[in-house]
Amino acid sequence: WGVPHIYTQTDAQAAYGLAWAHAEDDFTSIQIPLLAVNGKLASVKGKNGAILDVLAFIIDPGRAVEAQWNSAFSPAFRAVLNGYTQGLNAYARAHPDE
């Protein structure tokens, strides 16, 4: 418990460490919005989640991100986002029961 101290050489590595620390503390809360934007919230929230699944299908946030990924974000910021994603994915692989 306490404040994580993450020492790295790059911002992307720091984002990886931050994601891991974040997941250690509150992985469930991280998963809920991910399920929602991927149209899979009903799998854990039932009928109440299905409403957001339909909304995600209509809005299709993945398409919007893909369309603007290169133009909206600098290469440096994309590296940070990728680092954070890699940290979450690594945590998920290491803790499959969470």
The structural domains of the chain, ordered by start, are 11-94 (1.10.439.10)
Handedness of CA 88, 90, 96, 98 (dihedral sign): negative
User: What integer pLDDT is reported at residue 3 of this predicted model?
Assistant: 86
pLDDT on residue 2: 77
Tokens, residue 74 = 């600098």
The pLDDT value recorded for residue 81 is 97
Cα distances (Å, whole numbers) of residue 57 to 45, 46, 50, 53, 61: 17, 16, 10, 6, 8
Instruction: Identify the segments of the chain with pLDDT beneath 50.
Output: none
Cα–Cα dist 61/37, whole Å: 7
Report pLDDT for 1.
62
Q: What is the pTM of this model?
A: 0.85
